[in-house]
């Protein structure tokens, strides 16, 4: 087994520290490395894994049946914690850090199939938008008097490179919230690219029927982020990914989400559950650039079914979708990387806040108080097997009162090659 870790950013004034963890070895060894991080870096103990025995046992048996590679990693986690993996009082299916469940997030994703790009390679381009506050601040709860300030929940994402030697595809992915199963976007060695997006429309539709698992998880299956890990580890094509999503038992830890998946041949689809989670939907990309935002595409298959008009806090997800569509339609094909970056930049959080806060209305005041940012923009090149990402490092107020954000250069990880390069 080989384990290496590189630390990027984290200097005074930087919002986040990004760690690149590369593990080559068995899935057991990958799990043990993740468990050691939880123990040594975040001070986790077996008490943090306490669970209801009936659910812990059922969850363990389910993982053993449907996701053997993840079960092997769970064995490695148990070894790092010094506990019996068959002990029903512990739940080894998650390894949270900084936050035990992810509050809702908004994103904008475009998949460009090979026929649409200048290089002839498929590219997934993703804005990951999230709060830059700590968990207590997000919920309006002050830190206890005299305690150290709580860390911002997005201050320590991980770039995970896993090269399992005993089952499962190699992959590079960005994780947050959960080192074991906190996958937010990624690419595997077969060229399958995946990204997750919050289903804010579904969340709104649930209303009082929203059922987050804030504490012990009283459910069996894979939560919204663990589903991403299953796709990366086991699927080589869109058809395999469809089968996996339609057959795996899903639940949401905090919020309903949907997924965009694309394979190296240029096939793509968006997968959604209905608000009541009683119907599954697959929206095929048809070999054209495919866009996903934070509303339900199955309910809004065309512009005629989407809210129109000036951007507001209520329709901003639809506005982002329309803006991306217009940018893509104006060119249609031959997209190079710089153009792809520019298109996603047109709908990043800073742009939204600037557009929303352009007048003196109450909505404008609300927009300026928004604590979300685009905390990274990631690009996955399916043919070269590379991930490039630029991370939010902070901001300052300019003399004219505007915000000036600071982002890192793009960090590039190549699957099957050791190191990270900057360009």
Residue 406 confidence (pLDDT) above 60: yes
Cα 74 to Cα 94: distance, rounded to the nearest angstrom:
9
For range 165-190, the mean pLDDT: 96
Which residues are within 8 A (CB) of 84 and not within 5 positions of it... i.e. 6 or more apart? 78
* pLDDT tens column, 134-153: 887 877 788 777 778 888 98
Residue 49 Cα distances to 78, 94, 384, angstroms: 10, 8, 39
3-class secondary structure per residue, 249-282 = CECCCCCCEEEEEECCCCCEEEEEECCCCCCEEE
Residue 397 confidence (pLDDT) above 90: no
For range 71-100, the mean pLDDT: 92
Q: Per-residue confidence at 418, pLDDT binned at 50, 70, 90? A: very low
List residues bridging with 178 in a β-sheet.
Answer: 96
Q: What is the pLDDT of residue 123?
A: 98
Number of H helices, E strands in the chain: 11, 17
410 phi and psi, to 5 degrees?
-75, 125
Please tell me what DSSP assigns to residue 144.
P
Print the domain residue range for 12.
2-422
β-pairing, 386-397 vs 372-381, is: antiparallel
List the CATH number of the domain containing 52: 3.60.60.10
* pLDDT tens column, 276-292: 999 999 999 999 999 99
Return mean pLDDT, the chain.
91
**115 vs 367, higher pLDDT:** 115
Q: Per-residue confidence at 423, pLDDT binned at 50, 70, 90? A: very low
Residue 85 confidence (pLDDT) above 70: yes
- Split into its structural domains, the chain has a count of 1
């Amino acid at each position: 087994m080989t384990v290496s870790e590189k630390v990027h950013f984290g200097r005074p004034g930087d919002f986040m520290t990004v760690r690149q963890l590369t593990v080559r070895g068995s899935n057991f060894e990958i799990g043990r490395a993740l468990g050691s991080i939880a123990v040594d870096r975040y001070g986790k103990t077996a008490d943090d894994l306490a669970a209801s025995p009936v659910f812990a046992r059922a969850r363990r048996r389910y993982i053993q049946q449907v996701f053997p590679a993840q079960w092997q990693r769970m064995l490695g986690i148990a070894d790092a914690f010094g506990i019996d993996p068959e002990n029903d009082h512990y739940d080894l299916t998650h390894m949270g850090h900084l936050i035990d469940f992810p509050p809702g997030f908004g994103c904008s994703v475009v998949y460009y199939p090979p026929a649409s790009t200048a290089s002839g390679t498929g590219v997934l381009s993703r804005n990951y938008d999230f709060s830059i506050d700590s968990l207590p601040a997000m919920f309006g709860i002050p830190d206890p008097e005299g305690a150290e300030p709580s860390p911002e929940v997005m201050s320590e994402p991980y770039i995970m490179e896993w090269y399992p030697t005993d089952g499962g595809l190699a992959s590079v992915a960005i994780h947050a919230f959960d080192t074991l199963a906190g996958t937010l976007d990624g690419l595997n060695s077969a060229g399958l690219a995946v990204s997750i997006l919050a289903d804010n429309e579904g969340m709104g539709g649930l209303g009082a029927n929203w059922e987050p698992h804030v504490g012990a998880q009283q459910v069996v299956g894979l939560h919204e982020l663990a589903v991403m890990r299953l796709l990366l580890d086991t699927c080589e094509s869109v058809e395999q990914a469809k089968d996996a999503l339609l057959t795996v038992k899903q639940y949401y830890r905090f919020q309903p989400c949907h997924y965009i998946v694309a394979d190296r041949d240029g096939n793509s689809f968006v997968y959604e559950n209905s608000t009541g989670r009683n119907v599954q939907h697959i929206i095929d990309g048809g070999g054209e650039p495919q866009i996903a935002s934070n509303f339900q595409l199955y309910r809004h298959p065309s512009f005629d079914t989407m809210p129109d008009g000036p951007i507001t806090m209520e329709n901003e997800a639809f506005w982002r979708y329309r803006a991306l569509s217009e940018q893509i339609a104006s060119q249609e094909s031959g997209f190079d990387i710089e153009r792809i970056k520019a298109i996603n930049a047109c709908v990043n959080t800073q742009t939204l806040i600037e557009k929303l806060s352009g007048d003196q209305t109450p909505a404008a005041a609300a927009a300026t108080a928004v604590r979300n940012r685009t905390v990274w923009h990631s690009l996955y090149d399916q043919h070269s097997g590379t991930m490039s990402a630029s991370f939010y490092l902070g901001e300052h107020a300019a003399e004219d009162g505007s915000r000036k954000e600071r982002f890192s250069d793009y960090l590039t990880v190549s699957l099957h090659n050791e190191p990270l390069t900057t360009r």
